[in-house]
Amino acid sequence: MIDAVFFSIAVVTFAAAAFKLRDLRRGPVRAGQRALCLLLVTLGLSFVVLSDTAQAVESLIFPNLGRLLSNICTLVVAFGIVAHLIGVSLPAPRAQAAVRRLAFAYLLAIATMAAAFLASPVPARVGDFGDLYRDKPGLVLYTDIFVVMLGRAMVALLLLSLRYSRHAHRAALRFGLWSVASGAVIALVYLTEKFIFVQSTFLGVDLPLSGHDGACPSVVWPVGCLFSVTFPAVGALLIVVGMTVPTWGPMLTAPLDWWKDRRLHTRLEPLWRLLYEEFPQIVMPGTAHLDSRWRLQRRVIEIRDGLTALTPYRNSAARTAAEAAADTAKIPAPERAAVIEATLITLALTERRKNNPAAIRDEPAHSPTSPADLTSDARQLADIAAALPSVLTLQQVAHV
């Protein structure tokens, strides 16, 4: 059972690394991509060498060697995480110096762990060391160093994920950051329980948690197995999922994204048609080979070009009258801006046909310039298109 869990997590991490390697071949390479691939592979190896099957072989070389190898791999991953966070949060010269200091600290920690472990040989056993901590201070030192160094990385990962999740506009990125944060929290719970258990055992305090004194029969019972097996496995899985969701997430949401883009494209048709009849030159070259996202982008650009061409005929006095009419007609607030804008567009088209430029121009509604705002821009224009049937009513109220 435990082997199945650990090997499954390893397969997931190796698959995630393969996805990232595919992105590397497609290029261009973004900062940290190669390091992330290496970290994913190392994390997968930490679960492989800790499996019961692997430990049985590794213990033939040195008792419990698999646990030492697994913990070293985990600290290498922790170092990579903290180093990457330093690299993206500090200027290059300061980051390089900080990473060098960090590398020294982690190398010293790993060397001390290895020395303490090798100096405290115990009989080969599968699972946690349990009551062996009581008579082996070297194992206590070994575990304390591991908990502190990995805990530092998890705290940094948690804080950064929470910080940037508030600013993530894309759902996939926001989900990824929350997944990483959740994994870091679970890992910290695992480390806290491990630290308390080790110190209590060393001091001779018996805790009512069984499952730390041998191989775990399941991933949830005894309770100690829940902390020592399930929590690190689930925490690692959530972190891996969160770190790689920008790679595979779009594939899962592609059908829904296609449907949303097609629906927005259709909703824009009335406004686009109105402008196209007056400005046929706004139509861009053929779009037959483009996907739904590019079609939507081009439709928005064409509409914005048409609105720009109408600017000389938009009268500020007409806006004042339309706003007063909207208040008189008691148009609901969510629809008010769209109805007013639709009215001004219709009036500007009428003035253009009369070749009557406005004496005092009224600027069109603000257009988001960031590519990330394509959807919100399209929705704004779609609301205007949906408001076109209400234009006649507002014109009658405003007498324009």
Mean pLDDT over 10-19 rounds to 81
Residues 6 or more apart in contact with residue 155 via CB below 8 angstroms: 184, 188
Higher pLDDT, residue 332 or 362: 332
b/e code 32-47 from CB counts within 10 Å (16+ = b) = ebeebbebbbbbbbbb
Smallest CA-to-CA distance from 42 within 70, 6, 83 is with 70
Q: What gap in Å lies between CA 163 and CA 394, rounded to an integer?
A: 46
Mean pLDDT of 95-102: 86
Per-residue confidence (pLDDT) for residue 270, from 0 to 100: 93
Phi-psi region of 64 (alpha: psi -120 to 50; beta: other; left: phi over 0): left
Distance (Å, rounded) from C-alpha 123 to C-alpha 189? 28
Burial zone of 392 (CB within 10 Å; 0-12 exposed, 13-18 middle, 19+ buried): exposed
At 145-190, the pLDDT tens digits run 999 999 988 998 898 888 877 776 677 778 888 888 999 999 999 8
More confident residue, 266 or 240: 266
Per-residue confidence band for 369, with pLDDT thresholds at 50, 70 and 90: very low
pLDDT in tens, 205-226: 776 565 555 556 666 666 667 7
Q: Read off the pLDDT band of 29 (50, 70, 90).
A: very low
32 confidence band (pLDDT: 50, 70, 90):
low
Q: Which domains does the chain have, with CATH numbers?
A: 2-253 (1.20.1070), 268-398 (no CATH)
Percent of the chain with pLDDT over 70: 81
Whether residue 400 has pLDDT greater than 70: no
- Token readout for 284 is 């861009």
For position 264, what pLDDT does the model report?
A: 93
Q: What is the mean pLDDT of residues 106-121?
A: 89
pLDDT, residue 24, reads 60
Tokens representing residue 245 in the block: 């969701």
The encoded tokens of residue 116 equal 């303490």
Distance CA(168)–CA(174), nearest Å, equals 5
Closest CA relative to residue 400, chosen from 351, 353, 361, 337: 351
Identity of the highest mean pLDDT range in 42-46, 120-124, 324-328: 42-46
Q: What is the pLDDT of residue 370?
A: 41
Residue 9 has pLDDT above 60, yes or no: yes
| Amino acid residing at 54 | A
Averaged confidence pLDDT in the chain: 80
Note the pLDDT of residue 196: 87
Residue 95 pLDDT exceeds 60: yes
Span 265-312, pLDDT tens digits: 999 999 999 999 999 999 887 656 677 888 898 999 999 999 999 888
Q: What is the pLDDT of residue 84?
A: 76
- What per-residue confidence (pLDDT) applies to 212? 54
pLDDT tens-digit map of 40-52: 888 888 888 878 7
Determine the pLDDT at residue 285.
Answer: 77
Separation between Cα atoms, residue 326 and residue 331, nearest integer Å? 6
Cα–Cα distance, 66 to 56 (Å, whole number): 9
Going by pLDDT thresholds of 50, 70 and 90, the confidence category of residue 139 is confident
Omega cis (within 30) before 222 = yes
